[in-house]
Chains A and B, each alone.
Chain A
Amino acid sequence: MSDVTRISEEGSAGVPGDAPDPSDDERLAELFSFLRRRLTGEYEVDEFGFDPELNDKVLLELIRPVYRHWFRVETLGLQHVPADSGALVVANHSGTLPVDALMMQVALHDEAHRAVRLLGADLVYQLPLLGHLSRKTGHTLACPEDADRLLRKGELVGVFPEGFKGVGKPFSQRYRLQRFGRGGFVASAIRAGVPIVPCAIVGAEEIYPKIGDLPALARLLGLPYLPITPFFPWLGPLGLVPLPSKWLIEFGEPIRIDDYDPIDADDPMLVFNLTDQVRETIQSQLDALRERRGPAFPPIF
């Protein structure tokens, strides 16, 4: 018994994957100690409900094959993501379902070794399952209190300022950034004195090409939109399989805002201008990245 404990402690001390090819015994021991911790509740969650172990070992593990093999995501500009201090990552949002948020999360976790704390829509936290899974993977509600608190703690916070307007826009509008709301995220960054890292995500636009909408039914179900794609709802659940587009995620040079005073966060003109600046930066980054990627699908499509 003591042997098992010792081995599992060694196993969990190193970064997974860095260990020089652990034997089957060690892996089994680690699995058992993982299961024991999970069954007895001996793990920690933070005040937002983030469960790092569950996130890394279970939830992200489920998405990783999609990230690596389905969308073949490539990340660029990782040097622009701060290694251990607070920053606000601002990205474009698209794809009908917010798969881009998950891919960005894997990119930052596996390649930049940062747990990104995304700010999500109210709707997510009202729904069963989705709300608590979202908290367990480190995300929280998009509100100034939570954003400020996370940034003050030096966390890497991610936002999609387009919200539903971005993720639910029709296919014909692809790669065109929608309006950026009131720029609350800029105010939060100014208050916390952290840089804004613009992020462009290319590839999500093609996964579920939204060619129509069922607004009446959506209202009935309390959803912001109910999409029609070439495959959904025609093929039923099969229509929910995303198309395997090629993805690129690029983090741009941080927009420094630390020369502003925290009270400037209350200046609407300044916040609007900065919001515009961030939006234009991401749009031009997006255009260049789209060019660089080329066609979304191999020529056989």
Chain B
Amino acid sequence: MTHTVLVTGVSRHIGARVASVLAADPGIGRVIGVDTVPPSPTRDGGSLFGRTEFVRVDLRSPDIAQVIAAANVDVVVHMSLVSGPARSRSAMKEHNVIGAMQLLGACQRSATVRRVVVRSTTAVYGSAPNDPAVFTEDGEPAEVPHSGYAKDASDVEGYVRGFARRRPDVVTSTLRFANFMGPGVDSPLTRYFTQPVLPTVFGFDPRLQFVHEDDGVEVLRRMALEDHPGTFNVAGDGVLLLSQCLRRAGRLPLPVPSPLFRFLGEVARAGGRVDFSPEQLALMCHGRVVDSGRLIRELGWKPKFGTAAAFEDFLRSRGISGGFLATMAGA
């Protein structure tokens, strides 16, 4: 049986990669990629997407329902969750939350959709000092995120659970990804690591976890093609401390007290570069680690890149190597 797959968020890196890998699969009839903006002109749309048909749809509008109905879509991969504000926080929230509501509403009315895969983030667990060291999917965070990207993802997950209740016949998978890392990833965190001097919160050394983009794409591909209902954490094996990341990147830490760190974050936010919310400050203090055991058991497959390997690949691709710290150590 051939599938028609709808992929949202294809104008962003991971979305584009998922669309192209699905388009390369002969078992799939059609791949329809939608996004609010056309794929960025620097990327050669044709070769990147393969035979993906791009449809420009504002996810916040009900138009998406027409796309789903017209093409008899049976698999929906929802990746349109943005972490950086396009223009403002309210625009970002609308994009994330209203977009997901419209899409899920359309899926609920559709008679053809049989599988829905939603990209979420481990940020839904928050980061707090009184959290367990390692989150499993059943774990309740000590504090539910109440702002920014994490709150959006948390809200979206709520709608997905509602959808799964109303349409038990549709296989619904929610994937909580750790921070993406890799050659093509452009996120607040990757931008952070490419600066020459990195502000850190004085007195804290958070544990971080990354998932390589290749592994992320592979997980999404498998989820789109096979039935794996439920919620799954997706993270590379192992952890890196922020201090370790900085040393591996050969970058100098600039420890600042947390109020100053918050201020710097607000400045960066005003510059429109990142969405800086209290959750980001919490992450830079307390870190976050999740257990991907459920995913590994379910898929019988393990991410190829551990956290350290993913970070190394990112550093290599950006030409960041040990820097002067390594030179000093090697001397």
Contacts and interface: CB of A to CB of B under 8 A. Distances in A.
A140 B324 CA distance: 34
Contacts of B207: 45, 47, 49, 135
Given A39-B247, A141-B132, A47 B238 contact: yes
Interface string A111-139: 00000000000100111110110011000
Contacts, number: 92
B248 A40 contact: yes
Contact of B289 (A35, A47, A126): A47
Contacts of A236: none
Contacts of A143: 130, 132
A45 B244 contact: yes
A44 B238 contact: yes
B184 interface: no
B129 interface: yes
Interface in A44-79: 44-49, 51
Interface in A79-101: none
Most A-side CB within 10 Å, residue of B136, B241, B326 = B241
Interface string B198-223: 00011111010000000000000000
A126 B258 CA distance: 12
Interface residues of A, number: 31
B239 interface: yes
Interface string B118-139: 0000000000011111101001
A36 to B, nearest CB: 4
A128 B133 contact: no
Interface in A1-53: 35-36, 38-49, 51
A73 to B, nearest CB: 29
A42 B325 CA distance: 12
A146 interface: yes
Contacts of B330: 36
B225 interface: no
B70 interface: no
Contact of A129 (B132, B203, B241): B203
B329 interface: yes
Contact of B129 (A38, A48, A131, A145): A131
B105 interface: no
Contacts of A126: 129-130
Interface string B253-269: 00000100000000000
A256 interface: no
A47 B250 CA distance: 23
Nearest to A123: B129
B132 A128 contact: no
A43 B132 contact: no
A132 B326 contact: no
Nearest to B311: A41
A146 B289 CA distance: 12
B132 A125 contact: no
B245 interface: yes
A149 interface: yes
B1 interface: no
A122 B325 CA distance: 35
Contact of B325 (A39, A127, A132, A135): A39
Given A35-B329, A41-B243, A131-B204, A141 B133 contact: yes
A125 B130 CA distance: 7
A128 B134 contact: no
B244 A41 contact: yes
Contacts of A125: 129-130, 286
A39 B129 contact: no
Contacts of B129: 122, 125-126, 131, 141
Interface string B313-327: 000000000100110
A39 B246 CA distance: 10
A40 B205 contact: no
Given A40-B248, A129-B203, A141 B241 contact: no
A132 B255 CA distance: 14
Contact of A40 (B134, B240, B322): B322
Contacts of B205: 49, 132, 135-136
B328 A48 contact: no
A125 B129 CA distance: 5
A132 B204 contact: yes
Contact of B133 (A36, A40, A41, A48): A48
Most B-side CB within 10 Å, residue of A44, A46, A47 = A47
Given A39-B329, A45-B239, A47-B289, A149 B203 contact: no
Contacts of A43: 244
Interface of A: 35-36, 38-49, 51, 122, 125-129, 131-132, 135-136, 140-141, 143, 145-146, 149
Interface of B: 129-134, 136, 139, 201-205, 207, 238-241, 243-248, 250, 258, 286-287, 289, 322, 325-326, 328-330
Given A40-B325, A145-B134, 8 more contacts: A36-B330, A41-B245, A45-B207, A45-B239, A45-B244, A122-B129, A131-B203, A131-B286
27 contacts: A35-B329, A36-B329, A38-B247, A39-B247, A39-B328, A39-B329, A40-B322, A40-B326, A41-B245, A41-B247, A42-B248, A46-B239, A47-B133, A47-B134, A47-B238, A49-B207, A126-B129, A131-B204, A132-B205, A132-B241, A135-B205, A136-B205, A141-B131, A141-B132, A145-B134, A145-B139, A149-B133
Q: Nearest 9 A-B pairs (CB), nearest first?
A: A128-B203, A41-B247, A145-B132, A125-B129, A132-B205, A41-B248, A36-B329, A41-B244, A39-B329
